[in-house]
Structure 1
């Protein structure tokens, strides 16, 4: 019967057939995508909820870590403050400025000596082991500085190693002494 139809009707029927096929295929694709989206939607919401939960746990862990670090930092600061506390270090008897003043007064008449560092350690309540480091322009300046410490009366057992006199100029030195404060 198809062969009995004129060519124009055959084309029309073929065009309607392709149109029906496209509409049916499109409808099936749309229905398939709608069902797939409907079935994937719960998985998406579960994954989103888990992501938010993990993010919240991570934030809580970071905050906890920051709190632990802050607590550790406070502990370290408290220990450092106790170590650096002048009254705890020196028993409130002698201030560090007194040790520094005595060392600088010995240097006052000698411009050729530069003190780079002072380190002291408490031996008894009024006796401190003092180590002075610095630089002297020449041997004479270093020797007069040592004699000034000896004359001061506060420093006893002033030790200046002979190796400090090896250079004639620009001498890096280390002087060890005991400072006795009679208060």
Structure 2
């Protein structure tokens, strides 16, 4: 039983990490961060990320737009000017690619969120889910993901509670 859970978790991680890189590529970011991990969690087959955001009256598209807005606002604040709007129709095949050498290099907050998500699932003796990723990313106080949730009008504590409830359902 534990072996089966381990294989399932490995497949889930492979999918999550591939989609995290793809999300970073779609946003033309060099290093995948917590916001990319959060977006990638929607691709997991358990569907819990989608259900968490539905509970909160939001969805993946709104989150993508909020992340894009946070990026544009940060560039404008730095005086870099207007950037090309985020294209949510881009696919992995058409997104600008970066050289893939070695393991996925997540930002420090994304690594910590992933560690936290897997630790919570392990403590509960269950496979990790998208809801665990949502919860762990929502626990991060600063950064693009936190500002994107704020842009959506979502309080981090509310997101954490919704993710916890979904993971325990």
Under TM normalisation by the shorter chain, which class is it?
Answer: under 0.3
Using structure 2 for the length normalisation, give the TM-score: 0.25
Between Structure 1 and Structure 2, the one with more strand by share is 1
Structure 1 or 2, whichever has the larger Rg, is: 1
Using structure 1 for the length normalisation, give the TM-score: 0.23
